[in-house]
Amino acid sequence: MPFELPALPYSDDALEPVYSRKTISFHYGKHHKAYVDALNKLVEGTDYATKGLEDVVKSAPAGPIFNNAAQVWNHTFFWRGMKPGGGGAPTGELAKRIDVAFGSYAKFVEEMKAACTGRFGSGWAWLVADGGTLKIVSTPNAETPLTTAAQPLLTVDVWEHAYYLDYQNQRAAYVQAFFDKLVNWEFVAANLAKAR
C-alpha cells in the first residue's frame, strides 16, 4: 500500500497570522507531499514498500529512501507539535521535567532558539527524552532522533521552506513565535508519557 500524505491536524489557515495559509500551502502541500511522492517511487518493487514508515526510517541506509522517509516522518511530527491558540509555557509533569533539565522554561526556550539558529543550513531542533533526561538535539537535513535510543517529544523545522514566506531570514523570530503562539504542549506531554 502506498505511503500517503497524512491530513493536517487543523485547517490550512488555522495557525494564521503566526503561520500563514500560504506557508502551509507550500510547506505541506508542496514540500511534504513531494517527499511522500518521491518515497513511493523509490520503494516501488522493494521490501520497503510493505513496511511501515517508522520501520523504513529505522532500517534504510543513508540515501534517497532514508531521506524521503525521514522527511515524511519529521514533517508529520512537526505539524502535530503545533495547534491553533498554542504556545506559552507547559504545565504539569512536563513543566517540572523542563525545569529540572534546563533550569526554567525561559532557559529551555533560549536553548531551543540557540539550537535552531545555530543549525547551519537545513535541519531540525528537537526536544527528546534520552535515558530519562530531557535534552535538546539538532539534526541536519533529514536526520532524526528516531534512529537513536532517544524518544522525540517535539521538533522545530528550520529548513527555510518552513518559515521564509512569513519570516524571511528571521529564523529566531520564527522560533520565538513557535513557542509563544503555536506549540502544542499536549502533544509533547503525550510523547513524554510514552517515553517512560
CATH of 21-80, one of 3.30.300.30, 1.10.1740.10, 3.80.30.20, 1.10.287.990: 1.10.287.990
Q: Work out the pLDDT band at 179, boundaries 50, 70, 90.
A: very high
Q: Which band of pLDDT confidence, cut at 50, 70 and 90, is reported for residue 195? A: confident
Q: Does the predicted model carry a pTM greater than 0.85?
A: yes
Query: At residue 1, does pLDDT exceed 80?
Result: no
Whether domain 92-195 has CATH 3.55.40.20: yes
Do residues 156 and 124 touch, judged by C-beta distance below 8 A? Answer: yes
Q: Can you spell out the DSSP letters for 157-191?
A: E-SGGGTHHHHTT-HHHHHHHIIIIIB-HHHHHHH
The residue count of the chain comes to: 196
